Amino acid sequence: MGFTDFISSNFTEFLTYTGFANATSGNIIMIIAGAFFIWLAIKKDFEPLLLVPIGLGIILGNIPFRADAGLEIGLYEDNSVLNIFYQGVRAGWYPPLVFLGIGAMTDFSALISNPKLILVGAAAQFGIFGAYMIALALGFEPNQAAGIAIIGGADGPTAIFLSSKLSPNLMGAIAVCAYSYMALVPIIQPPLMRLLTTKKERLIRMKPARQVSQTERILFPIIGLLLTTFIVPSGLPLLGMLFFGNLLKESGKTTRLAKTAGSALNDIVVMLLGLTVGCSTQASEFLTMKTIYIFFLGFMAFAIATASGVLFVKFMNLFLPKSKKMNPLIGNAGVSAVPMSARISNNLGLEYDRHNFLLMHAMGPNVAGVIGSAVAAGALLGFMS
């Protein structure tokens, strides 16, 4: 073989390894979707800490290559770097670590000062069970329906944790759906909140919350851990780390550990989680009719959760004296998109009364929603296992 033939033959072989030769229409669609996520994050400021890693992960996971080449570069190829990172998602390591960070950053004072707000957080979890029933009606198996329904808790790590246990084949679609709708909470919730409340209700002013002592803040994670895990032991990985992180924060003696858990460690885990979740959306696995159903069910779950929280506050107001009535706008915060949904409650309240600050009141059901979604995930895991 001459030198020219050698170069020509090897160059032709090289071309078969390139992305241009292996690209499919599905890859192009998913790469455009990843770029759109990045655009939403940067241009529209929709949860950039989540959507930038996920968006780039979607692009990374859909770079075409020869599957039979044994290059060990794809997410689903054993021993590849991405596959090693993906173990944290598939085996459920990342979500508890994220909950550790959430606990270390969360102030439960608003909930402690007004314990009845936990009922609002619990009511919002009806979005999970409403979506579960709809998923069953659409023909999903019970374990798949449970994995999809947890999207209604508006908690990405919880959705990943539960779907990794019950419906791993749908985990990529569930995770991307959960994070997408979390980022779109400012668009989804306000129209529903306006629809379900009157102007008079939106103008309700709530009394300032009482001061919470340090003793109460220290006891809360211990008592909360015992109560929730005794009821739902299967939620221990998430609830245990959530309350552990909060105890580190509130003890006053472990500030360094709390800062590490809530900043550096949390940032590292969120980066790896977002990137690998995005990479898991390879076109061949993601672009199916089931994915469309999952996004529809995710929207229904968010809508039901928002409506349930708002309507439950209105129901509670029927039994509360006039001086203690609650503004129904805080009901949307029962979903655990912390603190975004609480900010939406506050912003909408200020829109109708620029002196009516609802943020601290909304944080009560918001943090209750974090606990509620973890409890709901534990309950579903216990039943489905």
Q: Each residue of 17-64: pLDDT tens digit? A: 888 888 899 999 999 999 999 999 999 888 898 899 999 999 999 999
The whole-angstrom distance between residue 105's C-alpha and the CA centroid of its chain comes to 16
180 pLDDT exceeds 80?
A: yes
CA separation for the pair 239, 200 (Å, rounded) = 38
Q: Each residue of 115-142: pLDDT tens digit? A: 999 999 999 999 898 899 999 999 999 9
Of residues 129, 199, 126, 154, the one with CA closest to residue 50: 154
1 pLDDT exceeds 80?
A: no
Average pLDDT of every residue of the chain? 91
Please report which confidence band the pLDDT of residue 2 belongs to, taking 50, 70 and 90 as the band edges.
low
| CB burial of residue 90 (10 Å; 0-12, 13-18, 19+) | middle
CB 352 within 8 A of CB 199: yes
172 pLDDT exceeds 70?
A: yes
315 pLDDT exceeds 60?
A: yes
Of 32-46, 194-208, 243-257, 275-289, the one with minimum mean pLDDT is 275-289
183 pLDDT exceeds 90?
A: no
Give buried/exposed letters for 261-293 (b at 16+ CB in 10 A, else e): bbeebbeebbebbbbbbbbbbbbebbbeebbeb
HSE (side-chain half, CA atoms, 13 Å) at 307 = 13
Number of H helices, E strands in the chain: 22, 0
For residue 199, the model assigns a pLDDT of 93
Count of Cβ atoms closer than 10 Å to residue 141 Cβ: 13
Q: Helix (H, G, I), strand (E, B), or coil: what is residue 76?
A: coil
CB 365 within 8 A of CB 309: yes
Q: Each residue of 260-291: pLDDT tens digit? A: 999 999 999 999 999 999 998 888 888 889 99
Of residues 304, 289, 161, the one with CA closest to residue 236: 161
CB 308 within 8 A of CB 332: no
> Which residues, in sequence order, are CB contacts of 46 under 8 Å at separation 6+?
40, 183, 184, 186
More confident residue, 251 or 339: 251
CA separation for the pair 317, 164 (Å, rounded) = 39
Q: Residue 384 corresponds to which tokens in the numbers above?
A: 């489905």
Of residues 363, 309, 294, 296, the one with CA closest to residue 126: 309
Q: Residue 163 corresponds to which tokens in the numbers above?
A: 């779907």
Please report which confidence band the pLDDT of residue 3 belongs to, taking 50, 70 and 90 as the band edges.
low
HSE (side-chain half, CA atoms, 13 Å) at 133 = 5
Q: Helix (H, G, I), strand (E, B), or coil: what is residue 63?
A: coil
CA separation for the pair 43, 147 (Å, rounded) = 31
For residue 133, the model assigns a pLDDT of 93
For residue 247, the model assigns a pLDDT of 97
Give, in order, the Cα–Cα distances in Å from 59 to each of 5, 53, 325, 381.
36, 10, 49, 32
Please report which confidence band the pLDDT of residue 223 belongs to, taking 50, 70 and 90 as the band edges.
very high
Query: Angle at the Cα of 291 (from 285 to 293), degrees rounded to 5?
Result: 155
CA separation for the pair 184, 187 (Å, rounded) = 5
The whole-angstrom distance between residue 340's C-alpha and the CA centroid of its chain comes to 12
8 pLDDT exceeds 80?
A: no
CA separation for the pair 318, 252 (Å, rounded) = 40
pLDDT more than 70, % of the chain:
99
Count of Cβ atoms closer than 10 Å to residue 257 Cβ: 18
Of 145-154, 194-203, 269-278, the one with minimum mean pLDDT is 145-154
306 pLDDT exceeds 80?
A: yes
For residue 53, the model assigns a pLDDT of 95
What is the amino acid identity at position 378? G
